């Protein structure tokens, strides 16, 4: 039995030893198509030569330099690339080592912004139910998933929750998209008013809901309406694009498709594509300038912020995406993946819904496809599908169980941006018999 307790120690894990492109290989020599990039991480597949070369070059020159003494070329170049591509005035970037750290930094930046702006009482955060924002104590507080929080109460941040934008499940009979969005905007407004607008720091949401609900995109205009409510009350809008960002939806920043700019956006996963541990948080001129004019700097920091090798890897990832126009491929292959899944599962008794954006695709599993009655969570349907898919040589990311009293099983597909049309067909071929 393994001494590592990353996961359930009773569960026997194969040992991963190699990977090339979409393929991952275990110690027994079994090959898997990595159709989820771990958890939407490995967006360029495994062993990408350009990224490996960039890492080797950086390690040979200088692996790491502490940010209290130096900045580095890859960190500066990566920051320039990200801010040039980001919408609006998201011109300032803070590098961290992963998604939870990016969220944690975002929460602190929002709080410090209000302090510097003369409103130190703005401490509460409003987030959404059925969301996941990470596992550090701050990120856990805003996450909309009660069972993950229970053992760790009281948490350090006071967070309140509103409904996610989950039209397929939550839109009322006869309600149009417009009416539905209005209802959600009203709920946010009422929540802000109930807490006292002068006490609310920010509204936090995943642009496209990832792990907890299986790639659920917002309906048109949702974020524009939420942005308007936030603006009315001086509440910041923070978008968590840890999973949905960095090209996963076919746009570098998922919110580009929603036509809005958040005040703060958090990214990770696809940023380093799994080659190095890196995340980042970007903020607008307004946030940055207020802090600069106030105490002068963001009161935050970790040993590995702006890690040179991590930035070199992420820079090579971003350059590859740009130079090979991979976002077009993400959009095309994403359309194909949803179409092939819909065809394959057209009459499947247990497939309730197939949705997503780009190569970020969710398959919902239900006990009854007509009534959408979920499976009993004790059956762990998602885990069974994952295990069977793995047997069939394809890796898909499972999620299920009770989330704030809501039930549901689904699997997430997040194939690499380099996937070909034949790869997509093969993923569905291997997944099909597992469902
Ligand atoms: N936010 C979202 C939306 C995520 O999906 C995740 C990871 N699944 C996180 C934050 C936390 O990122 P990490 O696991 O890198 O800390």
Whether residue 282 contacts residue 90, with contact meaning beta carbons closer than 8 Å, is answered with yes
Is 270 touching ligand 1 by the criterion CB < 6 Å?
no
Residue 7: is its pLDDT beyond 80?
no
Q: How far apart are the first and last CA of the chain?
A: 30
Quote the pLDDT of residue 89: 97
Quote the pLDDT of residue 407: 64
The answer, yes or no, to whether the previous bond of 133 is cis (omega within 30 of 0) is no
Is 304 touching ligand 1 by the criterion CB < 6 Å?
no
Whether residue 203 contacts residue 231, with contact meaning beta carbons closer than 8 Å, is answered with no
Query: How far apart are the C-alpha atoms of 22 and 42, rounded to whole Å?
Result: 9
Which tops the pLDDT comparison, 384 or 12?
Answer: 384
**Mutation probe of ligand 1 site: the residue of 132, 206, 310, 360 with most atoms within 8 A of C-beta:** 132
Query: How far apart are the C-alpha atoms of 262 and 65, rounded to whole Å?
Result: 31
Return the closest-CA partner of residue 251 out of 263, 267, 237: 267
The answer to whether 16-47+326-434 and 53-323 have equal CATH topology is no
Query: How far apart are the C-alpha atoms of 31 and 117, rounded to whole Å?
Result: 55
**pLDDT tens-digit readout, 23-65:** 999 999 999 999 999 999 999 999 999 999 999 999 999 999 9
Strand segments (E) across 132-258: 159-162, 200-206, 236-240
Tokens of 103: 């969220």
Is 241 touching ligand 1 by the criterion CB < 6 Å?
no
Query: How far apart are the C-alpha atoms of 407 and 416, rounded to whole Å?
Result: 29
Establish how many alpha carbons lie within 13 A of residue 72's alpha carbon, considering only the half-sphere containing its beta carbon: 23
Is 211 touching ligand 1 by the criterion CB < 6 Å?
yes
Is 215 touching ligand 1 by the criterion CB < 6 Å?
no
Residue 333: is its pLDDT beyond 60?
yes
- Would the ipTM clear 0.90, i.e. be above it? yes
Is 136 touching ligand 1 by the criterion CB < 6 Å?
no
For the chain, give every domain's residue range: 16-47+326-434, 53-323
Percent of the chain with pLDDT over 70: 98
Tokens of 263: 């005040």
Mean of pLDDT over the chain: 95
Quote the pLDDT of residue 145: 81
69 CA to middle of ligand 1, Å? 30
Q: Which atom of ligand 1 is nearest to the CA of 279?
A: 15
| DSSP-derived secondary structure letter, 101 | H
Residue 190: is its pLDDT beyond 60?
yes
Is 274 touching ligand 1 by the criterion CB < 6 Å?
no
Is 128 touching ligand 1 by the criterion CB < 6 Å?
no
211 CA to middle of ligand 1, Å? 9
Residue 196: is its pLDDT beyond 60?
yes
Q: What is the pTM of this model?
A: 0.97
Provide the b/e sequence for 254-270 (b: ≥16 CB within 10 Å): bbbbbebbbbbbbbbbb
Query: How far apart are the C-alpha atoms of 103 and 205, rounded to whole Å?
Result: 11
CATH T-level fold of 53-323: 3.40.640
Whether residue 35 contacts residue 415, with contact meaning beta carbons closer than 8 Å, is answered with yes
What's the CATH architecture for 16-47+326-434? Answer: Alpha-Beta Complex (3.90)
Return the closest-CA partner of residue 46 out of 434, 342, 296, 419: 419
Quote the pLDDT of residue 402: 62
Whether residue 328 contacts residue 189, with contact meaning beta carbons closer than 8 Å, is answered with no
Is 98 touching ligand 1 by the criterion CB < 6 Å?
yes
**pLDDT tens-digit readout, 106-142:** 999 999 999 999 999 999 999 999 899 999 999 999 9
Residue closest via CA to ligand 1's atom 5 equals 243
Alpha helices in 268-325 (DSSP H): 285-293, 308-323
Compute the average pLDDT of residues 272-277: 98
Tokens of 159: 């967070």
Residue 291: is its pLDDT beyond 80?
yes
Edge-to-edge strands, sheet with 406-413:
351-357, 360-365, 406-413, 397-403
| DSSP-derived secondary structure letter, 154 | S
Quote the pLDDT of residue 38: 94
**pLDDT tens-digit readout, 350-407:** 999 999 999 999 999 999 998 888 898 888 899 999 999 999 999 999 988 666 556 6
Query: How far apart are the C-alpha atoms of 285 and 283, rounded to whole Å?
Result: 7
């Amino acid at each position: 039995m393994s001494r590592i307790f990353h996961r359930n120690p009773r569960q026997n894990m194969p040992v991963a030893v190699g990977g090339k492109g979409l393929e991952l290989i275990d110690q027994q020599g079994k090959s898997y198509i990595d159709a989820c990039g771990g958890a939407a991480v490995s967006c360029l597949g495994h062993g990408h030569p350009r990224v490996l070369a960039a890492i080797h070059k950086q390690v040979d020159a200088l692996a790491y330099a502490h940010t209290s003494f130096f900045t580095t070329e890859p960190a500066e170049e990566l920051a320039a690339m990200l801010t040039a591509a980001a919408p609006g005035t998201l011109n300032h970037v803070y590098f961290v080592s992963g998604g939870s750290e990016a969220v944690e930094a975002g929460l602190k930046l929002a709080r410090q912004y209000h302090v510097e702006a003369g409103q130190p009482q703005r401490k509460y955060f409003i987030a959404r139910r059925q969301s996941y924002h990470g596992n550090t104590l701050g990120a856990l507080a805003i996450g909309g998933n009660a069972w993950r929080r229970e053992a760790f109460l009281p948490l350090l941040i006071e967070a309140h929750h509103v409904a996610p934008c989950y039209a397929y499940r939550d839109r009322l009979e006869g309600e149009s998209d417009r009416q539905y969005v209005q209802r959600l905007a009203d709920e946010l407004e009422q929540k802000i008013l109930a807490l006292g607008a002068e006490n609310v720091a920010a509204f936090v949401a995943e642009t496209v809901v990832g792990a907890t609900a299986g790639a659920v995109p917002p309906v048109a205009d949702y974020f524009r309406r939420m942005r308007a409510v936030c603006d009315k009350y001086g509440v910041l809008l923070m978008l968590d694009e840890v999973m949905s960002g960095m090209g996963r939806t076919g746009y570098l920043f998922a919110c580009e498709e929603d036509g809005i700019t958040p005040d703060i956006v958090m990214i990770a996963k696809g940023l380093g594509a799994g080659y190095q541990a890196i995340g980042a948080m970007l903020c607008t001129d307004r946030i940055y300038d207020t802090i600069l004019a106030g105490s002068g700097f963001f009161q935050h920091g970790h040993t590995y912020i702006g890690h040179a090798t991590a930035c070199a890897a992420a820079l090579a990832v971003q350059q590859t995406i740009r130079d090979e126009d991979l976002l077009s491929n993400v959009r095309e292959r994403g359309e194909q993946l949803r179409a092939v899944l819909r065809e394959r599962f057209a009459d499947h008794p247990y497939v309730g819904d197939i949705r997503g954006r780009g190569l970020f695709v969710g398959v919902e599993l239900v006990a009854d496809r007509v009534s959408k009655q979920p499976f009993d969570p004790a059956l762990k349907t998602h885990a069974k599908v994952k295990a069977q898919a793995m047997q069939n040589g394809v890796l898909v990311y499972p999620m299920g169980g009770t989330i704030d009293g809501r039930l549901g099983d689904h699997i997430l597909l997040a194939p690499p941006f380099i996937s070909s049309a034949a790869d997509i067909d093969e993923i569905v071929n291997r997944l099909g018999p597992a469902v």
